[in-house]
Amino acid sequence: MKNKDELNIGNHNDEDIEKKWNTIHEEYISKYAELRNEDLSYQKGGINGMFEKIGKKRGKTRIEIRREVSSWR
């Protein structure tokens, strides 16, 4: 079950955020060179696990990473 913060993150559900990630991931990776392929792998429906790995690497929470991706321009 998702908590209140997850439900209000840019009004993006998991499918929307996966589409957004697929659009911006190359630019995101370029900006954060400390990320490795193993940090960025996920299976469909498991994007929150990937955000958690990225968050640990960057010193942020999974929700912060999700918000960042959601609002990426």
* Total structural domains within the chain: 1
pLDDT class for 11, splitting at 50, 70, 90? low
For residue 70, the number of C-alpha atoms closer than 13 Å in the C-beta half-sphere is 21
Which pLDDT score, from 0 to 100, does residue 27 have? Answer: 95
Furthest-apart CA atoms within the chain: distance in Å: 33
Range of the domain at 59: 4-71
pLDDT digit string, tens, across residues 25-35: 999 999 999 99
The whole-angstrom separation of Cα 57 and Cα 5 is: 21
Which pLDDT score, from 0 to 100, does residue 29 have? Answer: 93
pLDDT class for 7, splitting at 50, 70, 90? very low
pLDDT digit string, tens, across residues 18-73: 999 999 999 999 999 999 988 998 998 899 999 999 999 999 999 999 999 999 99
